[in-house]
Amino acid sequence: MAGRLSAWRLAAYGALGLPLAMAALPIYVHVPKFYADTLGLSLAAVGGALLLARLFDAVQDPLLGWWSDRHRARGGSRWAFIAWGTPLLALGMAGLFNPPESGAVSLAAWLIGNLLIVYTGYSMVTVSYFAHGAEITDDVAERTRVTAWREGLSLIGVFLASAVPEVLKQASGERAGFAQFSWLFVPVALVLAWVTMRSSPPAHGRRPPTGTAIFGAFALPFRNPRFRPLIAIFVLNGIAAAIPATLVLFFIEDVVRRPDLTAVFLIAYFAAGAAGLPLWVWLARRIGKGRAWLVSMGVAIAAFVWAFFLPPGGAVAYGVICLLSGLALGADLALPPSMLADVIDADEASGRGRNEGAYFGLWSLATKMNLALSAGIALPLLQAFGYAPRSDNAAESLLVLAGVYALLPCALKATAAVALFTSPFCRAPAAPH
């Protein structure tokens, strides 16, 4: 299990990351603006719908993780969850971006209903997919390669989700463009899920988790002394990333004032993240994963605080911000899941068996809670201060938008950096070369 994995098998494992990311960007970035701007729901209604759906989604992730672990312990495969979850995700995506003509109440109900379908399918896939990745190898450096391949191919999905809807919107209009994108997503998801299930490196035999009580499985990760600081750092850093993801389209349109360059900005950000992945993998091998992650947080803060001071029309400066903050993104994608896989080793060493599903279920719960809070707080907050999409907003409203978009995430990320600096992950020796 410590041998070097072939690039082809890692690419096959990472293939499923492409449609997952291709779905995630529209869900978390485009849906708020699509339903508020194109379809006319109020920001408060959209924020409330997202908060309700994401809270439900967050709660189900540990349940799915526990179920996945139990299924594996009984001799089953985690692929069953991916085989059922992928069609469910595709169905929800088609519904989400093909809403009927209806009033505000019906439209809000449609949004919540299809979000629940999307989130359930997405969670069924991602929890088992990430857990399988943690079971491929015990080598700490190879684990970073596993996550880097997965996140690198995910970034290709992000490129497609950034560019394709823009092209389709230009040709067919906003509403029809997103509908066409959702139907394009269906075969991509089904085919690449099949590639991953067929050709991914196998998960090696592990000692089954001890006990079968569901609540005991949820509590077990918190008995691991290295998990507690890691999840706290991940949450702080995740909220710092979720707030700009929720507000980026509003910021580009009303502060940068170049909505025509939206796809360019998003592609620049994620392309820089993809280009930076080998750098963070290399740096993690040299100085340790925790220290490398800390360096990336410093880069992100230094780049992103600049966004608050952008003048109207500062497209070039914002493009530079996208490149620098995108460079730091590569570390956020590759290093924390690899660190989590290392943390899980302590359970096996102490005789508690392997519980990847429980860990990644809680990990996914934390991610969803970050996104729920960012939408449920940021969007109503902007509306309370008088901001409205595609309106003649007062200077004070735009200042609040810039502050929530740029300064609040920097403060949260700085707090995460301090917590990481004082944690065992920065005191631990670097991984062997």
Please, what is the average pLDDT of the chain?
84
Q: What is the pLDDT of residue 152?
A: 84
Domain boundaries, the chain: 7-199+210-427
What is the rounded (10 degree) CA torsion for 185, 187, 189, 191? -160
Residue 181 and residue 308 in contact, taking contact as beta carbons nearer than 8 Å = no
Tokens of 129: 């997919």
Q: Quick check: pTM over 0.75?
A: no
Q: What is the pLDDT of residue 147?
A: 83
Instruction: Map the chain to HEC letters.
Output: CCCCCCHHHHHHHHCCHHHHHHHHHHHHHHHHHHHHHHCCCCHHHHHHHHHHHHHHHHHHHHHHHHHHHHHHHCCCCCHHHHHHHHHHHHHHHHHHCCCCCCCHHHHHHHHHHHHHHHHHHHHHHHHHHHHHHHCCCCCHHHHHHHHHHHHHHHHHHHHHHHHHHHHHHHHHCHHHHHHHHHHHHHHHHHHHHHHHHHHCCCCCCCCCCCCCCHHHHHHHHHHCCCHHHHHHHHHHHHHHHHHHHHHHHHHHHHHHCCHHHHHHHHHHHHHHHHHHHHHHHHHHHHHCHHHHHHHHHHHHHHHHHHHHHCCCCCHHHHHHHHHHHHHHHHHHHHHHHHHHHHHHHHHHHCCCCCCHHHHHHHHHHHHHHHHHHHHHHHHHHHHHCCCCCCCCCCHHHHHHHHHHHHHHHHHHHHHHHHHHHCCHHHHCCCCCC
Q: How confident is the model at residue 56 (pLDDT cuts 50, 70, 90)?
A: confident
Which CATH fold would you assign to the domain 7-199+210-427? Growth Hormone; Chain: A; (1.20.1250)
Structure confidence by residue, pLDDT tens digits, 118-169: 989 998 998 889 888 878 887 777 888 888 888 888 888 888 887 888 889 8
pLDDT of 204 above 60? yes
Q: How confident is the model at residue 206 (pLDDT cuts 50, 70, 90)?
A: low
